[in-house]
Amino acid sequence: MRPNQSDQTYKKEKKMTYVICEPCIDVKDSACVDVCPVDCIHPHPTQAADEFEEVNQLYIDPEECIDCGVCEPECPVEAIFIEDEVPEEWEEFIDINAEYFE
């Protein structure tokens, strides 16, 4: 089901975001971090090194992502999708990314 304003997981009016999905797990090479113009991909490998070590993938902050798409082609494992195009089997990653920032 597409997110909409009546969906309780989308608490406020929702803009589009990019999402990091399963292929990033245990790869997290941070190529996307290097190109994001608004630094909304976390945890940062040097600015938050301890957190970076603890996670098994990186996450895009849906409130900060400006939807520019620069990160998508940089990912060597094609883990990044615009929200509307997240493959069905990875739709849970839309919430997984958002929940990292709650």
User: Phi first, then psi: what are they for 50, rounded to 5°?
Assistant: -65, -45
Residue 31 is classified by DSSP as H
Q: Judged by CB under 6 A, does residue 67 bind ligand SF4?
A: yes
**What is the smallest separation between the CB atom of 51 and ligand SF4, expressed in angstroms?**
14
User: Which amino acid is it at 34?
Assistant: D
Q: Detail the DSSP E strand segments found in 1-102.
A: 18-20, 41-42, 59-60, 80-82
Single out the residue of 10, 44, 74, 90 in contact with ligand SF4 (rule: CB under 6 A). 74
Place of tokens 């997110």: 3
Q: Is 18 in the site for ligand SF4 (CB under 6 A)?
A: yes
Query: Residue 9 or 15: which CB sits closer to ligand SF4?
Result: 15
Positions in the binding site for ligand SF4 (CB under 6 A): 18, 20, 24, 27-32, 35-36, 38, 40-41, 58, 60, 65-71, 74-75, 77, 79-80
